[in-house]
Chain A
Amino acid sequence: MPLKRQLVQAGRHAAIILLGLLMLYPVLWLVFSSFKPNHLIFTNSSLIPTAFTLDHYVNGWRGLQGISFGRFFGNSVLISVMSVIGNIVSCSLAAYAFSRLKFKFKGLWFSIMLVTIMLPYHVTLVPQYILYNELHWINTYFPLILPKWLAHDSFFILLMVQFIRGIPRELDESATIDGCGQSQIFFRIVVPLLVPALITTAIFTFIWSWDDFFSQMIYLSKIDLFTVQLGIRSLFDPSGQSDWGALLAMSTLSLLPVTIIFLVFQRYFLEGIATTGLK
């Protein structure tokens, strides 16, 4: 009987590993192909390159029309970091009000906030574009960053509300007795305890801003403002004339920041998803 169980266990592991490799194959193919010389990328289906080259990285890094890919990376980092800070500040403020303070129409605002989580962005897209156009903000980063400073991603408000509800109220009460006002309670007690939720918010905001191809495409058309996603899309020509080596090399680089953040902050990631059901 134990032997049979061991066999079943081994079989299960083998199946899971096999499927896992199959799942990772597209990513591995991308990474390994970016080191292959051009003539081998599509002819040689084995992962490990028989010949190794870094040319694609050198070529790709040169970028488009004299603007290097380094610039695109810088732009993407700028947008993502500003978005992260905006989301952390604005969402934590709102979450504190919703979870700890009493105010008029609280129930109404809270339900509105929940509804906005499920609202498809299409329905505000055109007027937002018109608004930013009137403000002469097309081809600036404001349309991408400003919404984060106004807690537009209400998903993170909910995440933090859930988290703050788990912080014992006794802490607030004793601080009140010690003479702390609401803002002091927020900054001295709630924020330090909220750090795990803030980290979850930060990493998801970073990744979503990094990958947010749609908004970037709508609002940015000047090449020196381009982000990594836009840069890659411009290297890629659907009719088949792309420099595939450079494209794959830059694609590999574009996945690197997200992957590193994931591996470093894995714990926060998986807990964040499990407790709130983030994507």
Chain B
Amino acid sequence: MRKLSKPLYGQQNKTAYLFLLPWLIGFFCLTLGPMIASLYLSMTKFNLLSSPTWTGLSNYVQIFTEDDTFQRSLWLTFYYVFLSVPLRLAFALLIAMALNKGIRGLGIYRTVYYIPSLLGGSVAIAIVWRQIFDGSGLVNQSLGWFGITGPSWIAHPDYVVYTIITLSVWQFGSAMVIFLAGLKQIPTDLYEASGVDGAGKIRQFFGITLPMLSPVIFFNLIMSMINSFQAFTPAYVIGDGRGGPLDATMFYTLYLYLKGFSFFDMGYASALAWIMLVIIGVFTGIVFLTSKFWVFYGDNQEGR
């Protein structure tokens, strides 16, 4: 690499920081500053009207020892993440593999399967979901053809979470598109060579497809997990907006929202936010740390 002379380097320094200026302002005013502020607020009582009063760790103590809703919402969110993320990725991989066999009309199929990802985040689709899983909704009508009387999925505290999970799994299209791109990168001669050696389809899947695809799976896993922990709109719209029935839709983000913006207990909400940050950090860290055992980077691939 060519070395720049000193004055030119200084010149570039200034230009570079000029280019970075909007991002830097954003980083300090909208990210770093607020992060520090919320850490401070998490150790106070604050309701937006009077100034914050320092209470030390009492918010955290209260959350971990007295707050049953916190525990329920945390377990509910875990349940949602650990059911919906693997299911979504499994579907995505399955359909991507079915589409990858040089099938005709791939473009149309890909579009059709992507549409749910496109629309799924909207309030409109959440309302539709609520309707089709209702007691007399489409799901139960279809079950009725087989003589099964389904429950009212959205009104029943045990079942409503599954309607939210289906909504999430339904949006597997975006992960599928990423898998499709990854599958295209796998050299076909690997399959041919292993076929000559007598490996069956299942051996090939576990021996070639999965390892070669593992960087993409890793990426999808991280992004899906982080996004799922933060789910809000489906819980808010499919439930009654206050976590009901019986806290069965009280996702973590919804609980934080209610604490902060309904009860204006902003110190408490900040403490909840920091706990969420640590939890997401820990899980992301675990995936990163274990990745060296299961993510396979081919030696001819340049690392990012």
Binding site for B on A (CB under 8 A): 9, 12-13, 15-17, 19-20, 23-27, 29-30, 42, 45, 89-91, 93-94, 96-98, 101-104, 106, 109, 112-113, 116, 118-131, 133, 147, 149-152, 154, 157, 181-183, 186, 207, 210-211, 213-214, 218, 229, 232-233, 236, 238-239, 244, 247-248, 251-252, 254-255, 258-259, 262-263, 266, 269-270, 273-275, 277-279
Least distance between A134 CB and chain B CB atoms (Å) = 10
Least distance between B143 CB and chain A CB atoms (Å) = 12
Contact B177 A238 (CB under 8 A): no
| Top-6 shortest CB links A-B | A150-B26, A251-B124, A274-B181, A103-B16, A127-B34, A127-B37
Contact A274 B180 (CB under 8 A): yes
Type the 1/0 row for B3-29, where 1 means its CB is closer than 8 Å to any CB of A. Answer: 010000100110111011111011101
Contact B30 A97 (CB under 8 A): no
Contact A124 B122 (CB under 8 A): no
Contact A213 B233 (CB under 8 A): yes
Contact A27 B119 (CB under 8 A): yes
User: Taking A24-B115, A270-B114, A273-B178 as contacts, is the C-beta distance between A122 and B272 under 8 angstroms?
Assistant: yes
Of A94, A133, A211, the residue contacting B122 (CB under 8 A) is: A211
Using CB atoms, name the residue of chain A closest to B121: A211
Contact A128 B30 (CB under 8 A): yes
Question: In whole angstroms, how far apart are the Cα atoms of A89 and B26 in the complex?
Answer: 14
Contact B23 A127 (CB under 8 A): no
Using CB atoms, name the residue of chain B closest to A274: B181
User: Taking A101-B19, A273-B178 as contacts, is the C-beta distance between A118 and B284 under 8 angstroms?
Assistant: yes
Using CB atoms, name the residue of chain B closest to A162: B304
User: Taking A118-B284, A274-B181 as contacts, is the C-beta distance between A150 and B223 under 8 angstroms?
Assistant: no
Task: Return chain B residues, CB-CB under 8 Å to A104.
Answer: 13
Contact B277 A123 (CB under 8 A): yes
A-contacting 9-mer, from B59-67, B68-76, B126-134, B194-202: B126-134
Question: In whole angstroms, how far apart are the Cα atoms of A16 and B101 in the complex?
Answer: 12
Using CB atoms, name the residue of chain A closest to B175: A277
Question: In whole angstroms, how far apart are the Cα atoms of A20 and B114 in the complex?
Answer: 10
A-contacting 9-mer, from B79-87, B206-214, B253-261, B291-299: B253-261
Of B38, B237, B274, the residue contacting A236 (CB under 8 A) is: B237
Least distance between B46 CB and chain A CB atoms (Å) = 8
Contact B16 A238 (CB under 8 A): no
Least distance between A199 CB and chain B CB atoms (Å) = 16
Contact A151 B22 (CB under 8 A): yes
- Interface of chain B residues 104 through 143 with chain A (CB within 8 A): 104-105, 109-119, 121-125, 127-129, 131-132, 136, 138, 141
Of A98, A120, A207, A248, the residue contacting B277 (CB under 8 A) is: A120
Contact B269 A126 (CB under 8 A): yes
Using CB atoms, name the residue of chain B closest to A218: B261
Least distance between B123 CB and chain A CB atoms (Å) = 5
Question: In whole angstroms, how far apart are the Cα atoms of A207 and B115 in the complex?
Answer: 13
Of A131, A151, A210, A255, the residue contacting B23 (CB under 8 A) is: A151
Quick check: is B98 within 8 A (CB to CB) of the other chain? Answer: yes
Contacts A17-B109, A120-B229, A251-B125 known; list 17 others, CB within 8 Å: A23-B115, A26-B170, A27-B116, A101-B19, A112-B27, A123-B277, A127-B33, A128-B34, A131-B29, A213-B122, A214-B253, A214-B257, A232-B127, A238-B240, A248-B128, A251-B122, A270-B177
Question: In whole angstroms, how far apart are the Cα atoms of A19 and B239 in the complex?
Answer: 27
- Interface of chain B residues 199 through 254 with chain A (CB within 8 A): 219-220, 222-223, 226-227, 229-230, 232-233, 236-237, 239-241, 253
Least distance between A84 CB and chain B CB atoms (Å) = 15
A-B contact pairs, 5 of them (CB 8 A): A23-B113, A30-B125, A123-B38, A126-B41, A229-B123
